[in-house]
Structure 1
């Protein structure tokens, strides 16, 4: 069985090795690329909280010269949390389910004080900002990077499985591939994009290596390892 990994390098560290240990043939097929923008961070400088939904947003903010020490921070997923901590930040809120709405609910459960800054990409879904504003928070959004789609390599056939990490990656996938492969969706917005196209897919229980392996075991009808 072949699987195409389309997520950015560094996300889900150790996944390729784990898949190969399961006997899968692993292809690296990036479907998106990101580019930092010369953004003005002034709108969020005075925000007490900064919430991050991707590692790329952390990297883009750092490239703009922002310091994370002393700020109150929230993160989607362990990779984003790790990126913030490696940059000197102390993460106080982490999304338990690994997506933006989960981060909103985790944040609201603490009932914290202060304005909220959201450094994000140009294709970020509006759900996080909307939910926080509905709860009465002042939210400032700054677009710090843009996401560009990459074409599926010409002549590359459809694998049995494809891991997709964003609606942008779904957009980049040709119909002939999306209809034939079984997609593994990292997050509900990615699953919704696949559902809209009517392509076979599974929504992963969490954005983790373990969830990917468990989904593949279920698809192949294998018993879970103990």
Structure 2
């Protein structure tokens, strides 16, 4: 499958472990570069105000593990009585652990559009969305269009990390990486900001966790070699496992 393939994981070390172990089990050689760092919002009063207005039959909906960790650090044991929803299984698991109770809703497809549709179908009329500063507007927009009361609050910020882009560029030019994986648009932007030229990423095949991440890659004029069918780390690993890198020459990623 991936025997000997050299795969760069663009996630923080504390988030990359499961993916690295799964890929290593398939024979890949992995390494991690943290392209972004997560900082909790310094002011959580917007979250507090939104939660104070949230009824018991409303929803607290999380779209990332980062969001769960940010609000868990602030709330401690004082979680609201509202129903819990999560965009996917990893977020749901983190949310259930932090809140100490079951997550009531996880959509079959793990993205913001599917989460909005699932919430609207179940009903409730009000929701608090603790998200990052780079979150896209599709989720709150869809809910507001359906008549919901939406508390869309920033609970963490994504910052670019300092990366030795020159050293990475040399490795890409030398063909030392077969795959570069991305699990968020922020990871794409962080790595591109470090490189002398975005086209250098075209020397490796680029693997994306989902549509929003793929859009960020394509916006830089690069080709997405594979996109996970489910926007989860296991989905991304499965996509890599079934991809056939034979015959890749290292010049298919750029679009000029």
Q: TM-score, normalised on structure 2?
A: 0.79
Distance in 2, matches of 1:13 and 1:103, equals: 26
Q: How does 1:63-212 map to 2 (within 5 A)?
A: 63-65=73-75, 67-68=78-79, 70-87=81-98, 88-110=100-122, 112-154=123-165, 155-156=167-168, 157-158=171-172, 159-173=177-191, 174=195, 175-201=198-224, 202-212=226-236
2:254 aligned residue? none
Q: Given that residues 10 and 34 in structure 2 are in contact (C-alpha distance below 8 angstroms), is that contact kept between their aligned partners in structure 1?
A: yes
* Residue number among 39, 42, 50 corresponding to 1:35 in the alignment: 39
Instruction: Please give the root-mean-square deviation of Cα atoms over the aligned residues, in Å.
Output: 2.1
Distance in 2, matches of 1:86 and 1:216, equals: 29
1:21 aligns with 2:32: no
Q: How far is the alpha carbon of 1:149 from its aligned partner?
A: 1.4
Moved over 6 A (4+): none
Q: How does 1:39-50 map to 2 (within 5 A)?
A: 39-40=44-45, 41-45=47-51, 46-47=53-54, 48-50=58-60
Q: How far is the alpha carbon of 1:180 from its aligned partner?
A: 1.7
Q: TM-score, normalised on structure 1?
A: 0.89
| Structure with the bigger percentage of helix | 2
Instruction: Give SS of 1:91's match.
Output: coil
Q: How far is the alpha carbon of 1:134 from its aligned partner?
A: 0.8
Instruction: Provide structure 2 residue ranges, at least 5 long, that are not aligned to the other structure.
Output: 247-256
Greater C-alpha Rg: 2
Distance 1:78 1:177, change over 3 A: farther
Instruction: Provide structure 1 residue ranges, at least 5 long, that are not aligned to the other structure.
Output: none
Distance 1:213 1:37, change over 3 A: closer
Task: Report the count of equivalent residues.
Answer: 221
Q: Deviations over 1:55-82 (max 9, x none)?
A: 1111111122253363211101111101
Q: How far is the alpha carbon of 1:163 from its aligned partner?
A: 1.4
Instruction: Give SS of 1:94's match.
Output: coil
Name whichever of 162-171 and 173-182 sits farther off.
173-182
| Structure with the bigger percentage of strand | 1
